Structure 1
Amino acid sequence: MRFEKLDIAIAGAGMGGLSLAAMLASRGANVVIYDQMTAPQPVGSGFVLQPTGSAVLSHMGLLDKAAARGAVINRMHGKLAGTNRTVLEIGYGEDRHGIAIQRVALFDILLEAAIAAGVKFETSSKALDMRDGERPAIVLDGGRVAPAADLVIDAMGANSPLGHVPAKELGYGALWATVPWPEEGPFHPHELEQRYHRASRMAGVLPVGTAKDGAPRMATFFWSLRNRDIDAWRSAGRHVWIEQVAKMWPETVTFAEIAEPVHARYRHHTRKPIAGRRVLRIGDAWHATSPQLGQGANMALLDAASMMTALENSASLEDALALHLRQRRMHIWFYQLTSYVMTPFYQSDSNILPVVRDIAIAPATQLPLMRQLVSKLVTGEFLDPVRRIGLV
């Protein structure tokens, strides 16, 4: 397909929207991103760029930039609070690793690539609906209608209003904060470390590198919290939270003392990927879930790359959409199901599931074959999604 003749309208300047826009514009397509912000900006804290997401950035020629700002992650290590007994230990294997990175750092890299490729931006333009047709159009706030396009992409995340399909909010969210990385320890510079109290409380520390060249190294500190308890948490005051942190994981008290936490809520849904004729959902707008498997941004990058390769290998938009869905559906279905099943073992009010996790699941993951399978699961490489979308 000739990209030079394509008009692409993308709603949402997140990881998926920016990466797809940059890839398509660099091949000659006319791409416009519509975003509700007054200027493009990221939402969220740090995350782990898995080998799947790294493969997409490598294809875009951006992996070296991301690696320079991020922190190499070789292992995920979880212990029970109080006893310090290891109940989660997952390594990447030889010559494999993740890259923990601040969302703002990767956002800036993708934004720079999109601008360099010629992507146009319409800020302060909140998408509310779509106008279907041979050439669909995004309906913006105030009743404005954006110019019609050959393809409309919904990349607005789990709260996307397009299609008005409700998403199930999970009972647990989390407090996230970006804090200075303690160079003198006691945390490991190449690990995601977690502590658990049953399944009702989880805390984690993730080294996430620098926001920009020359900036200090930072960490992401997160603390699970029932969504219904957020008002009580705010009313109780920081000193009560610090006491809770000290009881569960004393080494992280310094983080709680200086953190400016943001409360994140999570949803689980798998919407129909086709929202209208030549209207496609990608990322969390299509498939949202809890962060337990850490796949959100990586899945969005895979969606974007899949649509790009599908367009490259198809004679028409309809053929490209069909190919894209064949490339992505199985991987998405598997990870949505796995996340749905596994999340209650780590975030729920159950007293039984965390016991099963600690005495059965955790030891089983140390068996040689299981270690390999679990590693592939956590890194997002199960079912070989990179090969499926034609990047290798």
Structure 2
Amino acid sequence: MRIAVVGCGVAGMAAARALARKGHVVTLLEAFQQPRPLGSGLLLQPSGLAALRQLGLAEQVVARGARVERLDGRDLRGRLIMDMRYADWRPDAFGVGVHRATLFDILHDGLESAGVALRTGVDVASFEHGAAPVLVDTAGARHGPFDLVVVADGSASRLRAQLRPDAKAPVYPWGAVWANARDETGAFAGSLSQRYDRASTMMGVLPIGRGPDGGRAELVSFFWSLPVTQMDGFLSGDLAAWRRRAVAMWPQAAPIVEQFQDPAQFSRASYRDVRVGRWSQGPFVLIGDAAHGTSPQLGQGANMGIIDAVELAERLGEDAPRSVRGFQAARRRHAGLYQFMSRWLTPMFQSGGWLGPFVRDAVFTPMSKAPGGRQIAARALTGTLRLGRTPKSLRP
């Protein structure tokens, strides 16, 4: 089958590799002349690692990332709000914090040897619909025809608006700035650590291994949550004053915070709440953030995109439109559950009022102590909550 994958991000590259491994003729189209990762660090869950294992890449990710065994979230008084441990799901379970550039390199390296034709500088703008669609880029060049088009161009997808004009993808009013730093003493090893000032300020530290350059120092990604409207002010503001505020809120993070001397060290991240309905339209199918983008509260963005990619390749048969309808029905029972949870959780961690953090503090701490509560929380954390059966090949 002739397949086009639009977008050279995590989901797109995973899909291209998974489909090529099944013997399809795959063309990966990317708008940038030089594909590059966006963002700082991310957390891969056991469910996503199971999908990477099907691509033969899990061992590389584990070796180059950092093992994460728990999520520890506390308020400014040090009171434990979030205590989620992978061992509550399985004794040997863990997540992997990884630099985005490291994951990008692992997926990107060997694309051509895997049978994927990578074409850069192709900014797909529209398509000529039909049984075998042709894609048209912004320069007017035509690409195709294809038997299937996999749309993986992110939460701000251009093609999604043409395929599913009723889809909604508003930008969350809150986002974050990210930067990487050295963890010289290993103080943050093994845990995604967060601190909350109600829900108006959230900061965290995620171990991500040694980074794409293979240096000697263990790295962490530091994030600071703030309204999207305040990002420009942060990046052009008084960083020294910000450092004093951050250290006052979280003294233990001082060795990390003091490494940030220039706003240029930070990258910005904004998020969309993507609501599409059906992901497929004839020989087109949306995957990853183009289909189900959410806030980062459950750490599932890259995870779900990789699972989409591998499961699509597993389910694809000779009748592409029929196959993708079955694929999206099955995947929505998984990703849709996390979209729902993320939608309700976000105001509890990123909002300006008192109600969200009040509900958070009143619910999560007692729930973590209730019978079975820790196990349910661990299932949510690992990405293994699913309505319906998980394909055998994707079971962690």
Give the TM-score taking structure 2 as reference length.
0.92
Q: Please give the residue correspondences for 1:138-217 in structure 2 after superposition, counting only pairs within 5 Å.
A: 138-164=135-161, 165-182=167-184, 184-185=185-186, 187-212=187-212, 214-216=214-216, 217=218
Question: SS at 2:202's partner residue?
Answer: strand
Q: Tell whether the 8 Å contact from 2:279 to 2:328 is kept in structure 1 after alignment.
A: no
Between 151-160 and 270-279, the greater mean CA deviation after superposition: 270-279
Q: Please give the residue correspondences for 1:8-47 in structure 2 after superposition, counting only pairs within 5 Å.
A: 8-47=3-42
Give the TM-score taking structure 1 as reference length.
0.93
Q: Tell whether the 8 Å contact from 1:33 to 1:120 is kept in structure 2 after alignment.
A: yes
Alpha-carbon distance, 1:389 to partner: 7.1
Give deviations 1:325-351, integer Å, cap 9, x for gaps: 232111122111110011111111121
Alpha-carbon distance, 1:292 to partner: 0.3
Q: Tell whether the 8 Å contact from 1:132 to 1:276 is kept in structure 2 after alignment.
A: no
The letter of the residue matching 1:176 is: W
Question: SS at 2:211's partner residue?
Answer: coil
325, 330, 334: which one pairs with 1:322? 325
Alpha-carbon distance, 1:235 to partner: 3.7
Q: Which runs of 4+ in 1 moved over 6 A?
A: none
Q: Tell whether the 8 Å contact from 1:327 to 1:388 is kept in structure 2 after alignment.
A: no
Task: Specify the alignment match of 1:292 in structure 2.
Answer: 297
Task: Specify the alignment match of 1:90 in structure 2.
Answer: 84
How many angstroms apart in 2 are the aligned matches of 1:251 and 1:128? 48
Alpha-carbon distance, 1:118 to partner: 1.7
Task: Specify the alignment match of 1:261 in structure 2.
Answer: 266
Q: Tell whether the 8 Å contact from 2:280 to 2:325 is kept in structure 1 after alignment.
A: no
How many angstroms apart in 1 are the aligned matches of 2:173 and 2:379? 27
Q: Tell whether the 8 Å contact from 2:183 to 2:256 is kept in structure 1 after alignment.
A: no
Is it true that 1:123 corresponds to 2:117 in the alignment? no
Task: Specify the alignment match of 1:3 in structure 2.
Answer: none
Aligned residues: 382
Task: Specify the alignment match of 2:334 in structure 1.
Answer: 331
How many angstroms apart in 2 are the aligned matches of 1:354 and 1:298? 26
Compared CA separation, residues 300 and 389, structure 1 to 2 (3 A): farther
How many angstroms apart in 1 are the aligned matches of 2:229 and 2:67? 35
Q: Please give the residue correspondences for 1:234-253 in structure 2 after superposition, counting only pairs within 5 Å.
A: 234-253=235-254
The letter of the residue matching 2:96 is: I
271, 280, 302: which one pairs with 2:276? 271
Give deviations 1:192-247, integer Å, cap 9, x for gaps: 00000000100000110022474232110000011111232234321121122122
Q: Please give the residue correspondences for 1:42-121 in structure 2 after superposition, counting only pairs within 5 Å.
A: 42-81=37-76, 83-93=77-87, 94-121=91-118
Q: Tell whether the 8 Å contact from 1:75 to 1:90 is kept in structure 2 after alignment.
A: yes
The letter of the residue matching 1:137 is: V
Alpha-carbon distance, 1:181 to partner: 2.2
Q: Tell whether the 8 Å contact from 1:76 to 1:89 is kept in structure 2 after alignment.
A: yes
Q: Tell whether the 8 Å contact from 2:133 to 2:145 is kept in structure 1 after alignment.
A: yes
Alpha-carbon distance, 1:248 to partner: 1.2
